[in-house]
Amino acid sequence: MFQPLFAHVGEAADMLLLAGDLTDLGLPDEAHVLAQELTVLRIPIAAVLGNHDVESGKTEDIRQILTEAGVKLLDGAACEISGVGIAGIKGFGGGFGQCALSPWGEDTIKLFVREAVDEALKLERALARLRTQRLIALMHYAPIADTVDGEPAEIYPFLGSSRLEEPLGRYPVSLVVHAHAHRGRAEATTKGGVPVYNVSMPLLGRVFSNRQPFRIFELTVAGSALPALSAASTSPQVQSIP
């Protein structure tokens, strides 16, 4: 399944970031499959959950399985790998800019907006913990509209939230990685000029059809090269063992 892909990643990069949808239906069996596929790697792995991973209410099981497999699973947490700080959240929807949903009216709408606000606060706290010269924000949902451009306008509110962009302008973030928008754009920038990359696997397969579906980024600090990192998402192609 994914072992040949991960083998390529291990040869090309010094760490791997997974931007959510680590499973298809959020089942522990699927997490076990991914954990087994990742055994070919000898590089650090950081990941966040996606909406697929919470589908069956087995989030804690999935978290435990992947953590035991050596994955640094971030949910409002931060980690440092080879001098690079990584802040991770799942994120949530709500829409972008002037079209963003406001917390007004029914309680259900207010709860929907509150979830996006809470995720943005989790990202803020995670970024604040890091003291490295290079910071990466890793999430599943998009923080800007430009990388979901190409999706039907009707589903924009369910693809991300500009509330997730707000913390990115308050810290020296080098780049942002997300997934979720399968028919969006591969890259764009925040209002403050931070590069944002959509690494949804269907998108990478379409845009970069002549190469393996992952992105490689190389970060530098004061002219010194830091380890290259690879970013991708996996679902919905991770399937459970019958």
Evaluate if residue 224 carries a pLDDT over 50.
no
Name 123's Cβ contacts closer than 8 Å, sequence gap at least 6. Answer: 76, 87, 89, 91, 137, 139, 164, 167, 168
Query: What is the Cα gyration radius of the chain?
Result: 17
- Mean pLDDT, the chain, as a whole number? 91
Strand extents, DSSP E, 49-172: 71-73, 77-81, 84-88, 134-138
Strand extents, DSSP E, the chain: 15-19, 45-48, 71-73, 77-81, 84-88, 134-138, 173-178, 187-189, 195-198, 215-221, 224-232
Residue type present at position 44? P
What's the average model confidence in pLDDT over 134-159? 97
The reported pTM is 0.92
Tell me the backbone φ, ψ of residue 76, rounded to 5 degrees: 80, 15
Placement of tokens 């399968």 in the chain: 182
Percent of the chain residues topping a pLDDT of 70: 91
For residues 166 and 240, give the distance between their C-alpha atoms in angstroms, rounded to a whole number. 37
Predicted confidence at residue 188, as pLDDT, reads 98
Q: Give pLDDT tens digits for 62-102.
A: 999 999 999 999 999 999 998 999 999 999 999 999 999 99
Q: Are 230 and 16 in contact (CB under 8 A)?
A: yes
Q: Catalogue all structural domains in the chain, each as residue range(s) with its CATH number.
A: 3-232 (3.60.21.10)
Taking the CB of residue 175, how many other CB atoms lie within 10 A of it? 21
Residue type present at position 179? A
Evaluate if residue 113 carries a pLDDT over 70.
yes
